[in-house]
Amino acid sequence: MIRDGYVGRNPVAKGHWQELDKRVDIIAKSGGIPLQSSAANGFLIVGLPGMGKTFTVERLLQLYPQILNHTEYQGKPFSRIQITWLKLTCPHDGSIKGLALSFFQAIDDLLGTDYYKLCTGNGKRTVDELIPAMARVAWAHCLGLLVVDEVQHLNNSKSGGADRMLGFFLQLMNTLGLPVLLIGTYAALSILNRELRQIRRSSGLGDVVWERMPNDDVWKLFVEGLWRYQYVRNPVPLDKELSDTLYDECQGITDFAVKLFILAQIRAIVSGYEKITAAIIRSVAHDSLRLAKPVLQALRTGKTEELAAMSDIHPIEIPSAIRDIQRKQLLGKLSENSQSTNGGNVRPAVPDSPESAQAMSADRRESFQNGTPKKVRRLKKSEIASQCPLVQTANEGAKNGISAHDALVASGAIKPLFNLKNRAI
């Protein structure tokens, strides 16, 4: 794509800058798709979030130097800063103006220039003024490829309709000869699908649908590579049950698979079980993938047409998921403490493993004699409080002249409410 885009754009050729003025003038006056065509092609990548579309494209882009500083050409002085590729993320407001503004800001961040102020009037100029300026800057720096990620954020009402959005990208490809790579989720199809046939005819835009991994040899190879990174005390070999359970919970979405594997180990370590089981994987998935359940259910049932109507898949936030695991573990410890105080009749509601489930059943059977539960003396509030680990930590701190807050922070039970070093005096 990059090489094809440079065909016909020779900055040392006679009339190069006159050609730039002519093409920018065409863009400024054109209200639709220009008639000129070029060797530049476009490409569209559509797929589920978390499949690695953006990461893969970024890794490929990193194989090319992004900036080339030219000082001479064929023994003659030639000063030019060339940008081989530029990647933008479509703004959340979904407007062409927002995308154009992010273009100038990205150029400034990359080169240390002041195009944002000069070309946008600090963001006050209209889209009709920004697009020609954007084309001129791209031509001046011999931009080789423009990558636009998260195109599902483009909004028809704010952008002036699908015709204008696609006309904007086609102007860059056909008039400037600048290849454009679009990346988005299935939600982008509802915006782009109506005009894709026209784009393919006029610009040679290709596309690829990035499907999730099927539960076959590809998935097996992926999980086998992932399974080497076990940090629990009792690593377990990968078997069909564990592989199928992980696939069922993530439905072949790479990001979910990796994060569930990480969180399952954290839960196993925090709970002291120190081993990955199918039950722990399902438990972590139940807690961490609540917002993604509609998408996962659509994938399980094969109703993939529903995915186009869904705006996005909510990703797993690792820090919040870890805090959730720690919170549940602390509550579990408090429950165990209360259980020992009450004579062993209070049990956790949900076991973390089949072994704990069997132990729970045995203890429940022992708690009944002739069909009648054992009578337990009700404890006073002060007795219950004295058994709480948090209260014990606070009392221990008081004995050593430390406040309850500082004692709980030192034990790792809570985070500090404030930092004295950062407080204004």
pLDDT at 110: 93
Q: Does pLDDT of 166 surpass 80?
A: no
**pLDDT surpassing 70 at residue 17:** no
Q: What is the pLDDT of residues 234-257, one digit of tens each?
A: 999 999 999 999 999 998 989 889
- DSSP state letters, 287-306: HH-STTHHHHHHHHHT-GGG
Output 185 or 36, whichever has higher pLDDT: 185
State the pLDDT confidence band at 203, using cuts at 50, 70 and 90.
very low
Q: Which residue has the higher pLDDT, 27 or 360?
A: 27
- In the numeric block, which tokens belong to residue 247? 């696939």
Q: Which distant-in-sequence residues (6+ apart) come within 8 Å of 226 by Cβ?
A: 257, 258, 261
Residues ≥6 apart with Cβ < 8 Å to 17: none
The pLDDT value given to residue 319:
64
Q: What is the pLDDT of residue 424?
A: 42
Share of the chain above pLDDT 70, in %: 65
Q: Is the pLDDT of residue 29 over 80?
A: no
Choose the most confident range, by mean pLDDT, from 83-97, 181-195, 388-402, 409-423: 83-97
- 186, HSE (Cβ side, Cα atoms, 13 Å): 19
Give the tens place of pLDDT for each residue, 278-304: 999 999 988 888 777 877 887 888 766
pLDDT at res. 191: 65
90-128: per-residue pLDDT in tens?
A: 877 777 888 889 999 999 999 999 999 999 988 888 888
- Residue intervals of the chain classified under CATH 3.40.50.300 are 2-210
Q: Considering the domain 2-210 in this protein, what is its CATH number?
A: 3.40.50.300
Tell me the C-alpha distance between 90 and 349, whole Å. 45
pLDDT of residue 350: 44
Confidence at 75, pLDDT banded by 50, 70, 90? confident
Confirm whether pTM is higher than 0.75. no
CB 261 within 8 A of CB 246: yes
